[in-house]
Amino acid sequence: MKFRLLAGASALALTAGLGAGLGACSSPDPSDGVGGGKTTIDVWLMRDSVSAAFQKDFVKAFEAAHPDIRAKVQIQEWDGIGEKVTAALASNDAPDVIEVGNTQVAQYASSGGVLDLSDKVDDLGGKDWLKGLAEPGAYEGKQYGIPYYAANRVVIYRTDLFKAAGVEASAIKTRDQWIAATKKLNKGDTQGIYLPGKMWYALAGFVWDEGGDLATGSGGKWKGALDSPEALRGMEFYEQLQALGKGPKDSDEAAPPQSDVMAKGKVAQVISTPGGANVIAEANPELKGKLGFFPIPGKTAATPGAVFTGGSDLIVPAASAKPEAAYTFIKELTGDTWQKKLAVTMSYVPNKTTLTGALAKDPGAAAMAVGASGNGHATPNTPGWAAVEAENPIKDYMTAVLTGGDPAKEAAKASEAITRAMNSSS
């Protein structure tokens, strides 16, 4: 799952000249000459994964360190990438390294077209990987996806409105403190928080905080779990928080774009990836310098709020003719040196809990890292989850509850829909 509003991403967008070509892969490079001693690997990275400058610097350093390998990086677009990757994995002419959304790994691995990299985990320092990247990168006990970078939601807040209300953001460590602060901010024509009714990733965090889950699996079968007591408590908290603003109960954060709503100047908080602050300030320059960040609070101060960890993993297609060179590329890009540089350049959370200190000077990314390293989660790790997101009964469930429906009955209905979708696609 890829977030597109990452801090700094718009300013560091890749130049159009990099293109998104899908030409022949794993082909010999004519410039190397027959038996020239070089191995050329084809790599697909996604739009906004790296800046043009970072890509240039990395490839130059990689080829200098590994003169026997040439890396040809092609930038792909997120729209339609699933079909392209599926086709590539089924072909005999796949690229050697592909960046994929972390929640997509199970779907690709189940096809049999992805190389098992379980024997590389220790070599790559896997014990320190972010849980929200490592877990979805594994399928049926084997590691197919290597954690690349992460992103998750935080609270973006108006520093001036907080000051006027006498609220100190750094003191908000628990849900109860968050609710109390939001009530203080929710006065006059100011919304304490703008939270639309269908922000299901936020709901998922609250469900995880309560010890619940979206679905549970056993013996290869999956069952929706929104009707569990834990999940119902998560929805109860969502309803309590959502009521402290004027967010629509029947739409998500994209309709209308919540950044546009906050840009109008009457909203104290939104839940978003940090890059949302850039969009808000672009829409209303008067808010530049007045936006801050803090991690989503947890039930207790000891643990930050649970968050869905989006981001990317790197895979090697089984059809790659150069798996050793592909692994060398992955080891360098996901290693400590380049992970720190990527984090600083692109404001991403690095793939290891031991590397988050690199974000100390980036307040938005640092707030993300607290959640990602302290309580990051992923959606159910099964190919069938894609069918759930396509149908998304969770959104309908949330609106039904927020508009007066019986939570238990609506949760049972949504759980049945999740069960049906997941098992029909397994």
Beta bridge partners of 307: 376
Structural class in CATH, domain 154-308+380-424: alpha beta
| Per-residue confidence band for 220, with pLDDT thresholds at 50, 70 and 90 | confident
Provide the mean pLDDT of the chain.
Answer: 90
| Per-residue confidence band for 14, with pLDDT thresholds at 50, 70 and 90 | very low
Structure confidence at residue 424 (pLDDT): 81
Question: How far is it, in rounded angstroms, from Cα 144 to Cα 381?
Answer: 12
Question: How far is it, in rounded angstroms, from Cα 209 to Cα 232?
Answer: 12
Q: Strands 307-308, 376-377: parallel, antiparallel or unpaired by DSSP?
A: parallel
Q: Is the pLDDT of residue 326 over 90?
A: yes
Average pLDDT over residues 101-122: 95
Tell me whether domains 16-150+310-365 and 154-308+380-424 share a fold. yes
Superfamily of domain 16-150+310-365: Periplasmic binding protein-like II (3.40.190.10)
| CB burial readout 134-162, b (16+ within 10 A) else e | bbbbbbeeebbbbbbbbbbbbbbbbeebb
Structure confidence at residue 36 (pLDDT): 57
Q: At what angle do helices 336-346 and 52-65 cross, to 10 degrees?
A: 170
Q: How far is CA 31 from CA 28, 62, 75, 373, in A?
A: 9, 18, 22, 44
Share of the chain above pLDDT 70, in %: 91
| Per-residue confidence band for 367, with pLDDT thresholds at 50, 70 and 90 | very high
Share of the chain above pLDDT 90, in %: 83
- Helix, coil or strand: residue 286: helix
Structure confidence at residue 4 (pLDDT): 45
Average pLDDT over residues 93-122: 95
Rounded to two decimals, the pTM is 0.85
Structure confidence at residue 13 (pLDDT): 29
Domain boundaries, the chain: 16-150+310-365, 154-308+380-424
Question: pLDDT tens digit string along 234-252?
Answer: 999 999 999 999 999 999 9
